[in-house]
Amino acid sequence: MNDFIQYILYLLQRGIWFVVPAVLLCVLLLAAGWGISRKKGWHFPWRRAIVLLLLISWLGLTLFVTLFRGEPGARQWNFHLFLAWREAWNQFALRAWLNVLLNIALFVPLGILLPLLSRVFRKWYAVLLTGFGFSLAIELGQLATARGMFDVDDLFTNTLGTMVGWSIAMLVLSVLERKNGWKGQSLAYLSVPMALILVLAGIFVGYAVKPYGNLQDAPAVTANLKNVRWELEFTPQDEPVTAWVYEVGRLDQAACEQFATQFAQKVGFSVEDIYYYDDTIWFGNHSSGDFLFVNRLDGTWEYNLGRETTPVFDVHPEEIQSEDVLDALHQLGIEVPGNIQFTIQSPDKNEFFTASAEVELVPGAEKQWYGTLQCDLHYQDGKTALDQIDYRIVTLLPCREESVLSPAQAVQELYDGHSFQGAILEYYQASQVTVLSCVLEWKADTKGFYQPVYRLELQLQDQGRMTDYVSALK
């Protein structure tokens, strides 16, 4: 089971214990009210009492999930409507879509219970305002207590969930009561749930028929970079450009587990724990400190070496040769392309170094290697340990040659706020940015293809250098 789903179930389990005292108190109050009504010969409104009890239970669980499940943090807010939907589209992963769907489902009980509590809430606008009001109160509470994020997306999805619940309740009541015109009313009540189903179906069908997947890091919103003063250190080409899309292939769960089992046997550690998290599966051994993270999008992986598997060099990192790193990898059973050369460097020339290598793409070639490989080295007490391997080299198969943006168009996309890191540039409020270069690279998408993107090296006036990307496919 996906670990995010397990986390949701864990929250619900904790939330039930949070709700139980409130429910017990309400049951005692109901019992007292029933006893008084019976003694005085009054009719006790059992239906409303039970609905009210369920409503209080829902409110307690919702308050726990939204306000009391964690510790306070920094105040956060989002005023971009449908940002969560666009992020879910880019990532097209279970966790991202559950973020949207669970926010809808959370308020469905409110929409069902309100019309059962009072005939006032059989009016659509009364339920709409109530659902929006409850959601707004929770969002303001999250902002005030710094427990969560004030999010206009939550306002929309919570209110939508309330109306879906109201439609279901009114549909059932209409069928049961069968008043004049009930058939037409029933069809009208179906409109909100059916509209939601059709929208979601359109999204998933649209994704299924796309020839390629989505780039997970693609921008979900347009950044406001109007105040940035741009400079170019080169003249970008503006002629028509084509580039190949390559196929790598997604790994399913079974393939990931098979790879991890074989990898662990070659390296020399046993897998004790497995965590499933969207497009990444973690294989670990807490006792030895070995952890393998496999990316299902393209089969790349990252490995944190444990105490028993760490290769050790008896020299300073600057004395290690490329052949030494290759020998260490071969002893671990890790396959690397031939003729690869490592460059060893350190940002501070202190204890931590990196040995990095790059395999460049050969346009038009058949099956080929492409990507980067980085090994983290730690120098201490006269010895150097290989602590971590970040293996992002894949085997590419040419799929189709496509028309792409020219470098000049890619630079313009950057200016217009459509780059992958545009939101970061907006946050930095950079006054002047120099574009140092613009070259084609390839990134994995959600369907197992490598799409062309433009990598742009930027020099920010006050924040130093950064790397940004622009999608190249038209």
Cα–Cα dist 366/303, whole Å: 29
**Residue ranges of the domains in the chain?**
3-209, 229-240+406-471, 253-398
| Per-residue model confidence (pLDDT) at position 50 | 84
Residues pairing with 458 in the sheet = 435, 466
Cα–Cα dist 297/301, whole Å: 10
Whole-number Cα distances in Å, 16 to 64, 69, 138, 446, 454:
9, 12, 19, 36, 49
| Per-residue model confidence (pLDDT) at position 17 | 67
| Per-residue model confidence (pLDDT) at position 466 | 94
C-alpha angle 234/236/238, rounded to 5°? Answer: 160
Cα–Cα dist 222/418, whole Å: 6
| Per-residue model confidence (pLDDT) at position 201 | 96
Cα–Cα dist 423/417, whole Å: 8
146 φ/ψ sector (left φ>0, alpha ψ -120 to 50, else beta):
left
Cα–Cα dist 258/256, whole Å: 5
Report the sign of the C-alpha dihedral through residues 436, 442, 444, 449, in that order.
positive
Neighbour tally for 296: CB within 10 Å: 21
* pTM of the complete model: 0.84
357 close to 373: Cβ distance less than 8 angstroms? yes
Please report where in the chains the tokens 């993270």 appear, as a residue. 293
Which pLDDT tens digits describe the chain residue by residue (474 residues)?
A: 555 566 566 656 665 666 677 667 667 766 777 677 777 667 767 778 888 888 888 888 888 888 877 777 778 888 999 999 999 999 998 888 988 999 999 999 999 999 999 999 999 999 999 999 999 999 999 999 988 889 999 999 999 999 999 999 999 999 988 888 888 888 899 999 999 999 999 999 999 999 999 999 999 999 999 999 999 999 999 999 999 999 998 998 899 999 999 999 999 899 999 988 888 999 999 999 999 999 999 999 999 999 888 999 999 888 899 999 999 999 998 988 878 899 998 866 678 899 999 998 887 678 889 999 999 999 888 899 999 999 999 999 999 999 999 999 999 999 999 999 999 999 888 889 999 999 999 999 999 999 999 999 999 987 789 999 999 999
